[in-house]
Structure formats: structure tokens, C-alpha cells
A and B are shown apart, each in its own frame.
Chain A
């Protein structure tokens, strides 16, 4: 992502204007397309209203307690799932990644579990939890643990062996080494894992809500869909998209701030971000 850099001094000012104008233009064109397409019949008017109508519904919707209740339900399950996934994934990943016996022991099990599409578990979870919130939390934990587990594994395997040996030679204890060598070295990996898992968990929480009808944003979409309230349905989907975007950008920002000291974050990454 080495953005910029290329244009000469003359192009720099224009470059800066473009950096603002182009994204605005992109959004404007897209919105216009979603406004016009239903009106000229490119999208079916009855099932896909023009964007302005969706937007009006959205502005009405944001003043309702109903929407915020649903958003809170969703975020609550998301936060729990992410916390549990972190508590399982990171220690387990560090343990597995740091010794060969652990790696061998867990390898087939992990390789077998990981490709299972998490949503396949929904029917079993329905049997166990019905439509209680635990369903979506469990679903999200299953999906969100793997990225953290793998990032922690890669991270701990990537600790500089010289640093480890040096620390041992200086007589540092197990805890000190973990605290000063292993954790800082793994931090960028784990931060990336957290960001990925945060998105995954949100998707799975909303999926559980939508498919099973557990209260939350997804269930609201389901209700709007089945009652034919399409403006509302699209408005809610937009809200879910915004939520996804906020989570994503938020974790990106945290990652960048927390790890600004780390070599992988230091260079002039400046680009577009």
C-alpha cells in the first residue's frame, strides 16, 4: 500500500484535492445509481425502492427505541462472543504454538474443525438453546475463536529464537519471558486476529438472529422481510452494514494506535486507509 509518492511536486496539490473529491464522487455516483435504477426499472420498484425512500425510513428509524434496543442486543452478544473467543483462542494458540507436542496433538482436530462452516451448527444450537441469546453467542464464539487461535499460533512461532535464548541466558523466568519477549512479539498477530474475529463475530451474531429469530438486528430484518416492509428492511440492512464498518474501522484504528511502535506499522503506510 504505497500510495502517493509517485506524483512530482507539481502534482501534489492536485493529489490532495483528489484525495477528498474522488471518494465523495464515488459515494455520490453509487447513491445516484441506487436512486435511479429502481425508477427506470433496472431494479424492480416494488421490491427495491429508490434510495431516497430507504433513507427517509432510515432517518425515522434512528429515532425509535426499537432500533437501538435491537442494536444493543446485537452488540451485547457480539461483545460477549468476542471476549469468550479471545479467552479461548489466544491462550490455546500460544500454548499450541510454543511446543511441538501441543501442535501435533491438536493438529488433526483443528484441521478438521476449522473448515466446518459455522452456520452448519445452527440446527444443533437451535435444539440446545431454542431462540435464547446464547445461541448467537455460541455460534459467534465457534467462528471467532479460529482466527485468534491461528494468529496466536503464528505469532508465538514467529518469536525471534535469538531473543528467546538471550532472555533465557540472562536467567529470565518463564513469566518475564512471556511478558517481555513473547507477548510483545505476538501482539501484532493477535491484534490482526482480534480485528478479523470482531468482524466474524458480528456477522455470525446477525446471522443467528436472522436465521433463527433471536432478538436483535438480524431478527428485525427478518420481520421486515416477512411483512413486506421493504424500505424498513433495507434501512435495517444499512444499519447492519454501518455497524460492520464501525467495528472494522475501529479495530483498524486501535491496531494502528496500539502497535505504532511495531516495525510492521511504522513505515509510511500512509495510504488511503
Chain B
């Protein structure tokens, strides 16, 4: 996907001004936060389960090459083909090649954020292959001129029912529906034809199970089954970090994933797909391919950002992020929004192409409180800020301000008179009401709120006087 993260500020401003989006985002956050809290409270031992999940994600990451080889061996033994892609372009190329080899004219896709990274629909389209999104949210976005998703599990959460009703009437040429049930039925009718005429299904992977060579898929709509069982060919496109050693690992993580994501104790569907259709079996693909993609992931291995690779893509961090709640996912400008996206995007597309993302966070810490695999997101965001400074990527005036402040703050003999003067100037600026309505160099503050003016004399100078008086 084309990176737009350098336009974060202007995109965020646009989203803040969009009253309809604000309403939709507010309703979503309230619902999903309440649902998650209730589902987590049902667990006997959330913290213990989290610890176990962290361990079960850390184990394969510590020896990723070995576990990938194990996965490849097991998957190959069951009739699948395992391919590796170093870049997004390579992954797209491999999938186009697979399509050509099998004479594929139509692809049906289950929801996959990695395919958004790759820009798979565009790549297939350029090769003359029709690619149809079959997740309801993704389908809505695709027929809306290939709009990108704004959330990793609820891709169309920025739209409300009325917008979808208008879009369906316009695109399908049918009378406008108002009930969600009618709208989903209409989508289902359109998609059914695609499922039946599809040559190849493409899915992502929630987990790759090394001991069995299986892919595990967590979904709610049933479209994934139609994509993996009906067509002749099944392609799994996954990041290399998705591997788990055992089925038991997946079972532990599944106690947390749906609960953290949607507040469900278990998703409507959990598919474990292993190998190709065996002789005598009624369904399943004749050919199964795994395209395992790096595209920046190995750059996180063994470094201070490795913990990010534990991510199980539940979306809890963005659901609970005060910034995401106000601007939605599109403002972030690439595939992954919210706190996890603000770590992944600079890591995958280049720190210099997403300078705002690590900065656009209050570091309130709620993301790490809810993260089921304890990724220290605020710490990682802060480390990215440090990398920006080290690489000279911050604006000169910001660096000058911080350097000047730090220079004075370590020199009390300089700092004391400066703060005494500052307190007096600010008091004067505050006038009678003690409020400053405009501050030079801090317009970002005063455009949106007053700055309460100081009373004029610093604590330290008053404290010294009191001490002198007493003494």
C-alpha cells in the first residue's frame, strides 16, 4: 500500500472535522471497550494467561529460522508448497505467478492485513485477474473505489449503516435498504456468485502451526471457509512472525485473541487447515501455497523492537487509544493504525517516512495495559523517538528548544533566574483573569485552550524566603 503517513497532521485535522466519523468512532469505542472488559473479566486468570501467551509467542521468535523450517517441512509433507518473499513486491509477484500457473481468472479473498501491505488486489488486477474481497467490511471498501481499511479487525468501522446503504444502492443498482440484515443479505447474494466461480482463495494467517504445517484462521463471517474450501487453489499469505510451534500454543493465545479483539469468548469460526485435498476427500483445495513474507520483519528480530513481533493483531491497542478514538485509522496513512501501527509503520516503511506516528501519542499507557501479549508499546514509541533524534530527523526548532531547556535545567544558577523571569512574564501575559489566550511557539496549545497563568513567583523563591524568615 502507498504510504501516506507523512501527511498525518493534515489527515488527522480532516478526520477531527468530520462530524459523522466522530460519531461512528465514538459509538465503536464505547461498544468494544465494554465488550472486551466483560470478556476479560470472565477469565479465571487473565494475567497468568497473558504471561503464558507472551512465552508462547517469544519461543518461536527466539529461533524463528528453525521454526519456519519446521513449519515448511510439515506443510510440505502434507502436500503444500512453501514459498518465501523478502519484499512486498516479491510476495505479489509470487501470488501472480501461482495464479498464472493454475489458470486463475478469479480470486476470492478473506480478510488479510498482510495483503493490504502487499497491495495484492492491485497486483492481481494489473495481471488481469479479478480479485474479490469477501469479508463484509472489506467488500464494502473494495466497492467504494478500493478505500483502505481503517481498523485491522473492523475495517469499515469509520462508516455507518446509512453510508453503506447508499453505497450498496449505487453499486448494486438495487433499491436502498435500511436494515443491516437486508444489507448483509444483499452482499451475501452478490458474493455467493463469486464464491462459486472462484478459482483461487487467498487468506492471511492468524497462526502458522509448525508441528502440523497448518494455518489457523480466526473469523466471524464464514466467508473464509468459502474461500478455502471451494476453489481449486488456496494461497496463504502471512508474515514470517506468525509461526507458533504447537497447537497448544494457538489454544492458549485463542483464550485472549477474540476476547481482546471483539469481546467474544471465542470467534464464530476457528479454522485449522492442513494440507491439500486428500484422495477420497470431498472438499478442500487441490493446491495449497504458503507465501511467507519478511518485508521488514527480520529487521525487528534481535533488536530493541523485537517484542513488537509478538503482536497477535487483536486491535485492542487502537480500540483503547485516545488518539485513535479521535482520528480513526486512515489518518495514520498506511496499513496498521493506532499504537501497534505507530511502531510497525516506521519499522516497515522507513522511520523517515512516518515521522509523526511515534510522536502522535500521549504515552498514556492504556495500550500496554490491554495488550494481551504485553507489548510495551509506549516504550517502543519512545525508542522510535530516540532513533529520530539520533538520525537528525526532528525539526531544528524542536531540537533547539529541547537542547536549550536541557542546558538550563542542569544549571540551577541559570535555571532559577530564568524561571523567575518566566513566571513573571507569564503572569503579566495572563492579565486580570490569569489566562493566556495566545502563546508564541505554543500555538498548538493556545489554539485549543487557554494556558492558566502562573501566580508570578516561583515555589523555590518563596520557599527560600520562608526558610530565611524562619531561620
Note whether A and B form a binding pair: no
